[in-house]
A and B are shown apart, each in its own frame.
Chain A
Amino acid sequence: MRGLRLRDAGVELRIGVALLLAIIILGLVVPAFAPEDPRRWNTVPRNLAPGGDYLLGTTSQGQDVFWLLALSVRNSLWVGFTVGVIATLFGAVVGMAAGYVGGLPDRVLTLLTDSFIVIPALPILILFSALLEGRASLLLVGCVLAVFNWPRPARQTRALVLSLREREFMRTAWFAGSNTLQIIRREIAPYLTGWFIANFVYTVLIAIATETGLAVIGLSNLQDTTLGGMIYWALRHQAILAERWYWIGPPTLVIIVLSVALFVVSSGLSKLSARRRGL
């Protein structure tokens, strides 16, 4: 994606980038200004509606929703991106290698991929969470989630590569004397870029959603708050039925906006990259 420039981008991409930047600033910059550790209980009066001294109100545990949200965004982004980067890169490399090289390496890699694909993730994740005793660092949570998220991109990449390698331009490249690595790099990789980005987005979403799913049944890292963890506590205190939207709403909304932003950015970027490829 050399030479992608924002000035070529459309309105959507700009909006997406703006939203994403806003969330990243909320997550990466804002927490540094928190008056005290936002995870602490009873630092502020409880159950206050937004407004006044507390921009987004306060939780039933006596935390300031705004600062808590900022910290949760940071931690969720961290988990999401860790998983996205590890899983997509690893999966893509394995899938491309297996699909293009073929032969014994393909057999071994596919066996590995398929073995991981067949293991149902959620029960094992729950077992892992129990094993890690809710004390797992966010990085570790990310790595565990990545273990279950690389096989899908790997398998799908392999399928795409298999179908690609039968096409004319691949044969041409091969006859022209390009070696395997060059073919993967020059012919296959660019072709798949758009698809990779979609998969990266998907993996980030999956990571955040899986973390939330674990948190909802009380099995994620509940000490360092994440968006999922924040929703967990809100649900435990019946924030929906008590109509405390200012507590459960912000983390939910941020997840939605974050996903939409990531998506718009990625589809915008893949369009740009397609234009670069001259299509």
Chain B
Amino acid sequence: MRFVAFLLTKLLVYVLIIVIGVTVVFLVPRLLPSGPVEALLARIMAGGGFMEPAQVESMRVSLTQTFGLEGTLWEQYRGFIERVLLAGDFGPSLAMFPTSVNVLIRQALPWTLGLLLTATIIAWILGNVIGVIAGYRKDKAFSKVLELIAVAVYPIPYYILALILIILLAYLWPVFPMSVHVRSAPLSLRFLATVVHNSFLPALSIIIVGVGWWVISMKALSSSVCEEDFVQFARLRRVSDGTIMTRYVARNAILPQITALALMIGGVFNGALITEIIFDYPGLGSLTYMAVMQSDYNLLMGTVTLSIVAVATATLVIDLLYPFFDPRIRYR
């Protein structure tokens, strides 16, 4: 019974979180002085196209109607909630009217998931392994060097890092393509190899940046676990180093890292915005960027809502699973 109550509370909180998050995201772009109609007119203006005054006005009126942007904020909000939460339909994209947001997201999703899930997990594993080693043997020279590298690589502005990777591995030594271009094809070994080959540079850049942060945090966590009594006792009991490191230190230090990983995986649905821009990667990040730049409310709400739901779900799962990892925590 206790578990059911716990579960119900968590589910209620889960729904509340999503509603609060989505509402905030609904409101922020509407605070902007400009909207999708201006964005479309601006695009025509910037393209060198000339429209007469009467044409501009008539376009503006009919676009406002077509985009469903009439009515008060409350009416728009109600319409949005009804459509999205009840029917799962984000409506048409405004910048690519009338292409449906659902279709755009469905196209982008596998790209983002493939790249980011893999890269995030590789970075997490690598980072934690290095982090535990560095944390456990924190006085050894190699541990300090590893840590120093992690710390030095981490803050390199991502754009510069990606650019240097491109110049080195796609131009000077052209092993990888500069941009990601893959034809859709039936699933085959060669197709997979092409996808991996194309996604290698963006993945590498994400891993390089990601590892640094996992090393830093894991090292801090495990070195504080090392100071605990049970580790000291184990050392006195001459338990082997490897066992202490894996059974005692890693197992205890990994908890917050699992939380962070779950959140990170939820965040995968957010797309890697800057990565996708630099590498022309056709994922959710590039969609979100397009949406922001063109004030495409519907598309933005689509990608962001997806990301909010994903992160909220990850949080929920973590909360439910936590007791399995750490029996000292009870369901409350």
Seen from chain A, the residues whose Cβ lies within 8 Å of a Cβ on chain B are 12, 102, 107, 110-111, 114-115, 117-120, 122-124, 126-128, 130-131, 152, 155-156, 159-160, 162-163, 166-167, 194-195, 198, 201-202, 205, 208-209, 212-213, 216-217, 228, 231, 235, 240-241, 248, 252, 255-256, 258-260, 263-264, 267, 270, 274, 279
Contact = CB atoms under 8 A, between A and B. Distances in A.
A198 B217 CA distance: 7
A240 B161 CA distance: 11
Contacts of B151: 259-260, 263-264
A213 B274 contact: yes
Contact of B28 (A118, A127, A167, A228): A127
Binding site secondary structure of chain A: helix
Contacts of B312: 114, 118
Interface residues on B, range: 35 or more
B157 A252 contact: yes
Nearest to B155: A259
A264 B216 CA distance: 11
Contacts of B259: 155-156, 159
A252 B31 contact: no
B265 to A, nearest CB: 13
Interface string B137-166: 000000010001001101111111001100
B315 A117 contact: yes
Contacts, number: 159
A178 B220 CA distance: 29
A159 B326 CA distance: 11
Interface of B: 9, 13, 16-18, 20-21, 24-25, 28-29, 31-32, 144, 148, 151-152, 154-160, 163-164, 167, 213, 216-217, 220-221, 223-224, 227, 255-256, 259-260, 263, 266-267, 270, 273-274, 277, 288, 291-292, 300, 303-304, 307-308, 311-312, 315, 322, 326, 328-330, 332
Contacts of A259: 151-152, 154-155
9 contacts: A118-B308, A130-B32, A212-B158, A216-B157, A216-B159, A255-B157, A259-B155, A260-B148, A263-B216
Contact of B152 (A194, A260, A270, A274): A260
Given A115-B17, A119-B308, A267-B220, A209 B167 contact: no
A228 B154 contact: no
A202 B303 CA distance: 27
A159 B256 contact: yes
Contacts of B148: 260
Contacts of A114: 13, 17, 312, 315
Given A120-B308, A123-B304, A131 B32 contact: yes
A77 B279 CA distance: 30
Contacts of B18: 118
Given A119-B308, A255-B156, A195 B220 contact: yes
Contacts of A217: 274, 277
